[in-house]
Amino acid sequence: MIGEPLPTAVVLGMSPTGLAVVRSLGRQGVPVVSLDKNPWAIGRFSRYGKYLRVKGRKEEWEEMLLQALLSLAQQLPKKPVLFCTEDVYLLFAAKYADQIRESYILPSSMTEEIIRMFLDKERFYKMCLEQGVELPATYFPQSPEEVRMFSQELSYPCIIKPSFPHLWRKRLRGGKVILVHNPQELVSEYERIYHWDKRVVIQEVVPGGDDCIYVFGGYFNKNSEPLAIFTGKKLRQFPPRFGSASLAQSVWQPEVAEMSIALLRKLKFHGICGTEFKRDPRDGRFKMMEINQRPVLWFSLVEASGVPLIYAAYRDLIGEPLPGTERQKDEIKWIYTVRDLASSISYLFGNELALGDWFNSIRGKKVYANFARDDILLMPMLPIYLITQLCEYIRR
């Protein structure tokens, strides 16, 4: 490929997750085109990619995105590589996988069956049980009567999760779960949401703080061999306790890596993924929380720790030799500053975090969700992006 143009990477979704992907590839000289329906998405202002906005009403947006993708592919000199960075784009790719695959390079696991298996929490947890993966105590109720029957047997607190979390975001104002503390509250909350969605998961809360949650990021080739891997742990989440990472740290955890690799090999997985386990202080064992079949919000930490995961995926998908990799650097921190500040305030006022511990938690070498010294021109747009996010939260 010496002297020839590299295939373009097309990135769907320009939240900070998409921004991490654009930067990772752009820094390696890969041409990048990004698409998003949000005109103020922070990733669209990165110097490392060209931005294409897809306009259209909600009911016609998917069709317009498909046409934009197919038209873009026809204009490029080589078949491009597609990256999905949000669940909404994964569902889009699942729906139109056959058409998209004709024009784009995709991992073989980007199929409707596999995407929906990972996104559907009920199917995902049942698959974990079939594969012998340890979970928190998990139930799949079919009716309010069934919940009343086993509500006295559960340990509390516990959580109610939707089978498809993204469908509940507006109802839960950006949250992921409903926390309940006793049998009466469980029955009451279940009866309330039963009218929204009859498919939910009830799961015990594994004790321990956010720093008991360990994460794994990896890229697996078509033979389901891991070509780039990383592990770390969360330090704080937003929303507090049951959200996405707002502060995380690189730390090698071999058991989490081994469990993640073993499961994904069994599933014959091909592509990028992020897994999440929580160490249960009652027995010291790791319990599976979730798997994302895409880059995860904290993936800029992976590159900062010396693991070129996104670039390795790109090189493998286009059939080129992989970049050289070394063992990850530990003790690097990643922070989503605004969210972590909100989370920290909640923990401080709840007497779950001391001020001195907070100062220590943000010390050390860091990489940021949005800020980067080599991509600083997007920073003037960050306040507008944050305001749009706040307005969306208020609207929900």
Q: What is the pLDDT of residues 206-232, one digit of tens each?
A: 999 999 999 999 999 999 999 999 999
In this prediction, residue 363 carries a pLDDT of 95
| Domain span(s) for CATH 3.30.470.20 in the chain | 210-395
Using the predicted structure, report yes or no on whether residue 72 has a pLDDT greater than 90.
Answer: yes
Per-residue model confidence (pLDDT) at position 1: 47
Say which range, 97-111, 164-178, 219-233, has the weakest mean pLDDT. 164-178
Percentage of the chain surpassing pLDDT 70? 94
Mean pLDDT of the chain: 90
What is the architecture, at CATH level 2, of domain 210-395?
A: 2-Layer Sandwich (3.30)
Give the pLDDT confidence score for residue 194 in this predicted structure: 80
**pLDDT band with cut points at 50, 70 and 90 for residue 367:** very high
Q: What is the pLDDT of residue 393?
A: 62
Selected residue with higher pLDDT from 143 and 81: 81
Stretch 1-14: mean pLDDT, rounded? Answer: 84
| Predicted pLDDT of residue 388 | 73
φ/ψ of residue 22, rounded to 5: -60, -45
Return the SS3 of 113: helix
**What is the band of 175 on the pLDDT scale with cuts at 50, 70, 90?**
low
Q: Give the pLDDT of residue 193.
A: 82
CATH 3.40.50.720, the chain: domain bounds: 9-109
Nearest to 342, CA basis, from 268, 393, 283, 266: 393
Superfamily of domain 9-109: NAD(P)-binding Rossmann-like Domain (3.40.50.720)
**What is the C-alpha separation between 366 and 358, in angstroms, rounded?**
15
CATH number for the domain whose boundaries are 137-204: 3.30.1490.20
Read off the pLDDT of each residue in 324-353 and give the average, rounded to a whole number: 92
Element (H or E) spanning 24, and its range? helix 16-26
Which residues make up the CATH 3.30.1490.20 domain(s) of the chain?
A: 137-204
Exposed e or buried b per residue across 132-157, where buried means at least 16 C-beta atoms within 10 angstroms of its C-beta: ebebbebbbbeeeeebeeebeebeee
Amino acid at site 300: S
